[in-house]
Structure 1
Amino acid sequence: MLESQASAARGETVQTLDRGLRVLELLAKEPEGLLSQEVASRLALHRTVAYRLLNTLLEHRLIQRMDDGRYRLGMGLISLARSVQPQLQSAAVPELTRLAEELGATAHLTVADGSEAVVLTTIEPSRTHMHVVYRTGFRHPLDQAASGIAILAGREAQSGERTQVTRARQKGYAVSRSEIQQGASGIAAPIHVMGRPVEASIGIIILGDIDEDIVFPHIIAAAHAISLQLH
């Protein structure tokens, strides 16, 4: 009897954890945030269950509640993200900072997670009146946006891949316009580590068009500098 009760309790705990992780994954795809009832609807949860999950995540700072009642990913996730691939991040931060300041754009380090690209670290410029806010933890399909396309371009060619990936492989860097955010342009290069498949890229994102001829040497140099530190 006691054993069956313990087993049931463990099953309930696992289900709660699974639901909490699904909430985080959902919010990662919605940078503008979602209302609690929207979370409940998207995940097919009772509103009370969704509310409890959101409150628990809120207590741990994994999400934040905005003034309009919407929930978004919180600062607590940044602390967790910093412990992921610390060597890569340590090598990338100086290059990200240099790109952000020299080019006046938001610089980002992105890694592959299965069929998705995940923003691992971002650095915003300190001397601009306007720049793109690109949140750590944001996810998008790996074959979209310069950051994801650059990762695929650093790998072996695949049948049926997008022409943008093929073109990026030939050029050594990827460029995209309005793929993730309307009006925003991105440019990124793959980070090669000897003996390993490409799993990361470094790049920038700005509002408006990018002057490739001016920007791409900076991006290529940053990717190369990180690669040298990881060899």
Structure 2
Amino acid sequence: MTDGQIPKSVLARGALLLRVCAEADVALSLAELALRTGLPKPTAHRLVGELVRLGLVERTAEGGYRIGLGLFVLGQSAPTVRELRDAALPYLGDLHEATHENVHLAVPDGTDTLFLEKVTGHRATPIVSRTGGRLPAHCTATGKVFLAEDPSPPRRTLPRLTPRTLVLPGQLARDLALTRARGYGVNLEEAEVGVSAVAAPIYARDHGPRPIAAISVTGGTRRLDVDRVGARVCAAARALTRKLSA
């Protein structure tokens, strides 16, 4: 988690604990928190106890730790996130109505793509993503949209999530060139077996030439028509771009 470098400040260590809790799909034990953060167990115990007291982390009946309601409220209060999410929701809803599949709003976050919102339903393909979750950018449609406009895309061998993940820099570079040419990114079972996605970039005035976010539709590979859905996603992304730039 820390690549061998443990933060020195108390604030940075607390932030590391919060991030580990946020990335986990289940409550983590104290031992798991210490292992994933690299913090000494007494230090992790002291800091997570303070986070519980502040309401940013909660302790389950079984003794595990997970993100608390207080942190959720703080996150929802961030003006940039709130304004982007509120502006995007009507377009996400329209895409879900048209496709009956999972629709995401995502933003770049380092080497990952971070899902700010997910609209789904009973007819949508079950997938692993969740609001507030993240996946490596190189194996997601939204992440490819961000990487395609990055002046220095990854040049290292990348982690493989499925047999179809593009892990070699040359493979990814060719895919990103195609993403730029057609105007949308495609993930063909690169993050999850049997699941594919199409994503288009969202821009905003005064934010430069790089996208600030992306919209995607994710569903079962067999029933996702990439060209048809790609056209819909691009149209929604252009409309949202116009709204944000007005």
TM-score w.r.t. length of structure 2: 0.73
TM-score w.r.t. length of structure 1: 0.77
Counterpart CA distance in 2 for 1:34 and 1:174 is 34
Q: Which residue of structure 1 lines up, in the alignment, with residue 159 of structure 2? A: none
Shift of 1:76: 4.3
SS at match of 2:132: coil
Q: Do the aligned partners of 1:106 and 1:133 also contact (CA within 8 Å) in 2? A: no
Q: Which residue of structure 2 lines up, in the alignment, with residue 89 of structure 1? A: 85
> Within 5 A, what are the aligned runs for 1:18-167?
18-32=12-26, 34-58=28-52, 60=54, 62-63=56-57, 71-82=65-76, 83-85=78-80, 86-125=82-121, 127-128=122-123, 131-132=126-127, 134-154=129-149, 162=172, 163-167=174-178
Closer, same or farther: CA 100–32 of 1 in aligned 2, 3 Å? farther
Tell me the amino acid that sits aligned with residue 225 of structure 1.
Answer: A
SS at match of 1:143: helix
Counterpart CA distance in 2 for 1:34 and 1:179 is 27
Closer, same or farther: CA 148–46 of 1 in aligned 2, 3 Å? same
Counterpart CA distance in 2 for 1:103 and 1:206 is 9
The gaps in structure 2 that reach 5 residues or longer are 1-7, 156-168
Closer, same or farther: CA 192–217 of 1 in aligned 2, 3 Å? same
Closer, same or farther: CA 225–129 of 1 in aligned 2, 3 Å? closer
| Greater mean alpha carbon deviation, residues 193-202 or residues 30-39 | 30-39
The gaps in structure 1 that reach 5 residues or longer are 1-13
Tell me the amino acid that sits aligned with residue 100 of structure 1.
Answer: H
Closer, same or farther: CA 23–99 of 1 in aligned 2, 3 Å? same
Shift of 1:211: 1.5
Q: Do the aligned partners of 1:105 and 1:131 also contact (CA within 8 Å) in 2? A: no
Closer, same or farther: CA 225–70 of 1 in aligned 2, 3 Å? farther
CA RMSD of aligned residues (A): 3.0
Closer, same or farther: CA 113–50 of 1 in aligned 2, 3 Å? same
Count of paired positions? 217
Instruction: Give deviations 1:91-150, integer Å, cap 9, x for gaps.
Output: 11111122223222221111123333222222222x427533522322333333111111
